[in-house]
Each structure stands twice: as C-alpha cells, then as structure tokens.
Amino acid sequence: MNLTKEQIAKAFSNGEFEKTYEFIAENAEWIVVEENHFKGKQSILQNCEQVGAYFKSVTTLFITHNIIVDGNNVVINGTAEFFRENKRVSLISACDVYEFNDKNQIQKITSYCIQSK
C-alpha cells in the first residue's frame, strides 16, 4: 500500500495503527512526553496493540485541527474524545510530531497529550 507521509501520520494519530505498521522503521522511537518512551518497532507495535484494545472498548471521536507537512516532518494536532455508555470518559488534546526517514518510514514520533480536567 502506498500512502503519503500525511496519510500515514493522520492514520496513526487517529488510532488506525494497523494501516501504519509497514511504515514504521525498525529502529523507530515514540516518545509520549512525560509518560513513556518506546524504542524499536516491536515496542511501538506492542503499545499500539494495547492502545488499540482500549479504543475498541470505548466510542472514540477524533477531530483533527491542523496538519503541517514540511519535507520529512508532519505535525498533527487535534482532540480525542472517549465515551462509554454515552458518558464522556476523557478528552485529550494532542499534538504529534512525526519525523520520517528517506524511505517514507516513521523514524520518530513525539506526542504531547493533555487530558482535560
């Protein structure tokens, strides 16, 4: 499957992780600021599976506010709202910064996630 950097980044930011797996470099890293640091593709995929399982347990509403593409970098900000039994469980405001290598693979993701009170 051929996807643009923007499409890959948007899929990842919207929790459509499976679409992005082939585009993650073996030595990639994912930093969730002040929370976690995943090093290597396998570590990232394991976290994606855990997060994906949570997404399947709730109703999600992802809203993308901005996408900025500059060369091998893509920045996406937006919100993720999670509901269970028609009640909001949480609202996250997020910004993901993607760095791609020259093979169109994600090399690094830096995620800033702020949970609303």
What DSSP string runs through 86-100?
TEEEEEEEEEEEEEE
Nearest 5 degrees, angle CA 36-CA 69-CA 19?
A: 60
pTM of the predicted model as reported, rounded to 2 decimal places: 0.94
DSSP state of 35: T
Nearest 5 degrees, angle CA 34-CA 77-CA 62?
A: 100
Measured from the Cβ of residue 103, the count of other Cβ atoms closer than 10 Å reads: 8
Q: Is the pLDDT of residue 1 over 80?
A: no
Q: Long-range contacts for 53-57 (Cβ within 8 Å, ≥24 apart)?
A: 55/15, 57/84
Mean pLDDT over residues 37-45, rounded? 98
* Domain 5-115 in CATH 3.30.70.20: no
Name residue 69's beta-bridge partners: 74
Ordered by start, the domain boundaries in the chain are: 5-115
Q: What is the distance between the alpha carbons of residues 8 and 20, in angstroms, rounded to a whole number? A: 6
Q: Give 60-110 pLDDT, tens digit per residue.
A: 999 999 999 999 999 999 999 999 999 999 999 999 999 999 999 999 999
Q: What is the pLDDT of residue 117?
A: 78
Q: What is the distance between the alpha carbons of residues 49 and 21, in angstroms, rounded to a whole number? A: 11
